[in-house]
Structure 1
Amino acid sequence: MNTPRTIAEYLEQLRAALRGADPALIQDALYDAEEHLRAELAEQPGRSEADMLAHVVGTYGAPEEVAEIYRDQEIKIQRALRPPPTPKRHSLAGRFFGVAADPRTWGAMFYMLLALATGIFYFVWAVTGVSLSAGFSVLIIGIPFIVLFLGTVRALSLIEGRIVEAMLGVRMPRRPPYPEQSAQSLMKRIGTMFSDARTWTTLFYMILMLPLGIVYFTLTVTLMSVSIAFIGAPVAYLFDDINDHITINWGVGAHVPGWGDAFLLCIIGIVLLFVTLHLVRALGHMQGQIAKHLLVSRTAA
């Protein structure tokens, strides 16, 4: 591959060398490379981009070398962060009950419970910001306010990415799409922010998180509560006097509830609990893919 003569060429070659890698990794690599190249160029104002890049290729590395370094580092980091692997279970019962031993299951459950709070915050922030932006658009402070608001939206996307990666195990960007120190003028950078599809997909994600958060929280709390209540049926029966006028019917005739009914409810509760854990883990995987598609820059792919 030819030696790049401009920063844009270097970044394009780096993107090509990382083709097929995780889009979040590509976004981080492009950010780091551009930030380093811009800093090198700023420190040597009398040097042309071509001369600076010729020097950088020998120190920072050629695009292919940098891409290989990032791939190797990513493998090491993911190995270090990955939870201990759960034993493979071949039986149906083992796979069904083994979900409780998967750390991602509990991370997803915590995310489902947290999603209501974050969903409300994101929704209020997005709707309030859009409303105020529309109202201020006729005033002189309109454009600065909109730029500030969109900047906070992009910052919140990085915070959400950290939450998703920590709890759901989905690789998310650790850097913004592009560094703050850029050769572009202020107006050009503002234009880039408005034209970047990720700005608007992130805003959509923040609004979408309210209904998703309500669904996640309601399903998780309701199913877990019912499961625990059913599991505790024998204990409730032990300490509670059953009115003789109360009857129950399992399809085999009405009768006064007894120990058999309590233990049957307990078994149903245990099964429902593990069904809930499977559902929570599936919802966590789905949420991770939603975040991946809406919060990661598509230009990095």
Structure 2
Amino acid sequence: MKHDRPARRSDDTMATDYGTRTPPQHTLHPALRAPFSARAWKEFAYLLLNLPMGILFFVYAVTTVSLSAGLLVTFIGIPLLAAALVGCRGLGAVERTRARALLGLDIASPLPVRGKKSGLMSWVGAVLKSGVSWRHLLYGFLHFPWAVFSFVTSVTFVITGWSLFLYPLWQWVFPEYTDQDGIALFSDGTNDFYLDTPFETAATSVVGLVLVLASPWLIRGLTGVDRLLVAGLLGPSKLATRVSELESDRGVVVDTAAADLRRIERDLHDGAQARLVALAMDLGLAKEKLLDDPEAAARMVDEAHGEVKVALQELRDLARGIHPAVLTDRGLDAALSSVASRCTVPVQVEVDLDQRPAAAIEGIAYFTVSELLQNVSKHAQAGRASVDVWRMQDRLMLQVADDGRGGANTTSGSGLAGLAERLDAVDGILVVDSPVGGPTTVTAELPWRK
């Protein structure tokens, strides 16, 4: 089977309303707009602040670490070192805020330091054992030389570029207030060469324009290094981030399991259980009428037989909702074909798998497609739909498409939002492409884990 799949969209495609945002149209080329863009000036402001912040952080780090190292022979040296590291974390918070405001770099704050026991020494030990605290200190040492270099480079480049570009507007300053005719390119006391002719003035302005147009890209490259430093040294560790993600995913899994149990209990109570209770009452009445009115008793038994069939069908549906036997016995192809046959619109199912994924992933894939097809039946107003399943390296790919009215979204509280959370709990991804007016394509990606 051929897989001409749409390329994965960037994060902004996960917006809540597709097709309603039209990107602004610009007449100028991006290279010409860059020197006047807010991003360029914010990044330049960041580099300007690099010098004072770099000096402050470096001086603080050197002073406090030197002082605490000198006092390590006394008791006060160790708590002082811990306090110095905490101060570095505070300055790191300022740096993260600056990067968030001027670079658009949103770095999560590291987890606060907590001792295993209450008391000063437990807290001091936790601070000294924290790799995050030492990385903040390392940032103070490494960022200072880079801050000096980036400040000098950016200021020199920007001021030189704009000064040369605007040279025709301020050239008159030289003959008016100095003994020169213009900018002196060469002077040895005997021979002087000034930029004073119309051609030289125009050429100077062109050179300045080139520098002005190049300055945003130079600034962007310089701030790229700052992004790496902030993200690598001032953010939480990868292990802490992963632990936080797993804790969040565990909460989603627990909530989902609890919701499923409540749904099963409700379905049993309101469905099969209530029907079986009514069936028992009907059979009791039929037993009482068996001798007095055999014909009425026979009718009641016949009705009870019909109720038994309905109750059995409800129990089968409930069991299929928990885990269908066809999925266990025959895999995704047969199980998804069974789901598609119950959809209100024609569904074409294509499953291209050379082997079966892990049982848990297979079950999640089945219920994902089931829920998406239910959305097609209830909300899409579609004429047809399709389900494609294939493997891409170590990932299981699912794609459900329909030609309905579109407008599906992943806003909080929607069914797709809950589905996205459940997939995220197992390191899965849900991508929705549903412009108003259709068509809708929902792509899910799950780990293979075989």
In structure 2, distance between residues paired with 1:275 and 1:86: 25
Which residue number in structure 2 is paired with residue 177 of structure 1? 111
Displacement after TM superposition at 1:255 (Å): 9.5
Displacement after TM superposition at 1:243 (Å): 5.1
Equivalent residue for 1:135, pick from 58, 62, 70? 70
Displacement after TM superposition at 1:165 (Å): 0.9
In structure 2, distance between residues paired with 1:285 and 1:189: 35
The answer (yes or no) to whether the contact 1:129–1:149 under 8 Å persists in 2 is yes
Equivalent residue for 1:110, pick from 28, 45, 62? 45
In structure 2, distance between residues paired with 1:103 and 1:247: 34
Displacement after TM superposition at 1:113 (Å): 0.6
In structure 1, distance between residues paired with 2:194 and 2:123: 74
Identity of aligned residues (%): 26
In structure 1, distance between residues paired with 2:195 and 2:125: 73
The answer (yes or no) to whether the contact 2:100–2:107 under 8 Å persists in 1 is yes
Greater helix percent: which structure? Answer: 1
Count of matched residue positions in the alignment of Structure 1 and Structure 2: 212
Taking the TM superposition and a 5 Å limit, the aligned residue runs for 1:78-227 are 87=24, 94-174=29-109, 176-178=110-112, 184-186=117-119, 187-227=121-161
Displacement after TM superposition at 1:205 (Å): 0.4
In structure 2, distance between residues paired with 1:236 and 1:118: 34
Mapped pair 1:288 → 2:227: yes
The answer (yes or no) to whether the contact 2:88–2:136 under 8 Å persists in 1 is yes
**Closer, same or farther: CA 236–101 of 1 in aligned 2, 3 Å:** closer
Give 1:164's aligned amino acid: A
**Closer, same or farther: CA 282–125 of 1 in aligned 2, 3 Å:** same
Taking the TM superposition and a 5 Å limit, the aligned residue runs for 1:265-280 are 265-280=204-219
The answer (yes or no) to whether the contact 1:158–1:173 under 8 Å persists in 2 is no
The answer (yes or no) to whether the contact 1:168–1:285 under 8 Å persists in 2 is no
1:120-149 Cα deviation digits (max 9, x unpaired) = 110000000110011111112122212211
Q: Which runs of 5+ in 2 are unaligned?
A: 1-14, 17-21, 187-192, 242-450
Give 2:129's aligned amino acid: S
The answer (yes or no) to whether the contact 1:112–1:217 under 8 Å persists in 2 is yes
In structure 1, distance between residues paired with 2:230 and 2:203: 40
Which residue number in structure 1 is paired with residue 361 of structure 2? none
The alignment's TM-score, normalised by the length of structure 2, stands at 0.42
In structure 2, distance between residues paired with 1:255 and 1:145: 60
Displacement after TM superposition at 1:178 (Å): 2.6
Give 2:49's aligned amino acid: L
Displacement after TM superposition at 1:183 (Å): 5.3
Displacement after TM superposition at 1:235 (Å): 2.4
Which residue number in structure 2 is paired with residue 29 of structure 1? none
1:175-210 Cα deviation digits (max 9, x unpaired) = x41365x65344443323222221111101011121
Displacement after TM superposition at 1:86 (Å): 8.0
**Relative contact order (alpha carbons < 8 A, sep ≥ 6): 1 or 2 greater?**
1
- Please state whether the residue corresponding to 1:139 is helix, strand or coil: coil
**Closer, same or farther: CA 122–96 of 1 in aligned 2, 3 Å:** same
In structure 2, distance between residues paired with 1:205 and 1:97: 35
Give 1:202's aligned amino acid: H
In structure 2, distance between residues paired with 1:217 and 1:209: 12
Displacement after TM superposition at 1:257 (Å): 3.9
In structure 1, distance between residues paired with 2:185 and 2:56: 46
1:144-187 Cα deviation digits (max 9, x unpaired) = 2122111111121111111111111111224x41365x653444
Greater strand percent: which structure? Answer: 2
Superposed CA RMSD in Å reads: 3.3
Displacement after TM superposition at 1:228 (Å): 2.2
In structure 2, distance between residues paired with 1:153 and 1:256: 50
Which residue number in structure 2 is paired with residue 262 of structure 1? 201
Structure with larger Rg: 2
In structure 1, distance between residues paired with 2:69 and 2:185: 61
1:38-83 Cα deviation digits (max 9, x unpaired) = xxxxxxxxxxxxxxxxxxxxxxxxxxxxxxxxxxxxx89xxxxxxx
**Closer, same or farther: CA 193–86 of 1 in aligned 2, 3 Å:** farther
